[in-house]
Each structure stands twice: as structure tokens, then as C-alpha cells.
Amino acid sequence: MLSLRFFQNNNVSTLDINELWYERLAKSGLDSKVKYSNYSIEVEGEQYDDVFAVKLDFDNRYELLKLVESERHNVLKEMIKKLINPTVKEINEVHGYTMVLTEMYEMIKSEENIYFSFV
């Protein structure tokens, strides 16, 4: 299990994803669309040094939102093509991944989140 982390002032939200979804996000460009750097981040009074993350500003937030929305669109198109005779496994996989993308979109869009990282 891997985690996507969204850091706010003194708070962190985590979205757990499986390796297959992480691979799909990586193939879509998650690790190359924006510049990641090491940051020192304080969460609930505890200092974390060398957190490899993106500082979310207008431009890279926009790039990440475009990436996530494009990936969600592609997954939904893929699902529609399989609607004729989908397996339960395929339905569950698409549903789960679409839910992760939707949650990710909302977390990136929230201006309360200052940094984004994946571990």
C-alpha cells in the first residue's frame, strides 16, 4: 500500500492507494508534471525534514488537476467500453480507482493543502 499525502498548516491528510493505481498515476505523469523538492514541514508540532513534495501554488496545482481529471476521464471511457460485459473485478477496479482520483482532485483543489507528496 502506498500513500498520497496532503499537508496543511499543522495537519496532514493521507490517501492510501494500491500499487496498481500508483503505477497508473505514474504512467499518467504524476512524477514528472511538476517539480518535487525536499521541504521541512511541521505537522502537529513535530518537524519532518527532507519531505519530498510539491509546494502547491497556482500553476502546479492547475497542472496536477488537469492530470487527475484527464486520468479520471480516461478511466471512465475505458469503463464505458467494457459496459457490454464487465466482470465484477473490472467494475470494482474502475470504481475504486475513480474514487481515488476524485478524492485526489478534491484534495489538490483545496487551497488549504500546501504540499503534496507520495510515499
The model's pLDDT over 30-69, given as tens digits with 9 standing for 90+, comes to 878 788 899 998 888 888 888 999 999 999 999 999 999 9
Query: 119 near 43, Cβ under 8 Å?
Result: no
Q: What is the pLDDT of residue 105?
A: 95
Judged against a pLDDT cut of 80, whether residue 18 lies above it is answered with yes
Residue-wise over 102-117: b if at least 16 C-beta within 10 A, else e? ebbbebbeeeebbbbb
Judged against a pLDDT cut of 90, whether residue 106 lies above it is answered with yes
Q: What is the pLDDT of residue 32?
A: 81
The DSSP annotation for 38-107 comes to: EEEEEETTEEEEEEEEEE--HHHHHHHHHHHHHHHHHHHHHHHHTTTS--HHHHHHHHHHHHHHHHHHHH
Domain count, the chain: 1
Q: What is the pLDDT of residue 62?
A: 93
Q: What is the pLDDT of residue 43?
A: 84
- Residue 44 is part of which domain span? 2-118
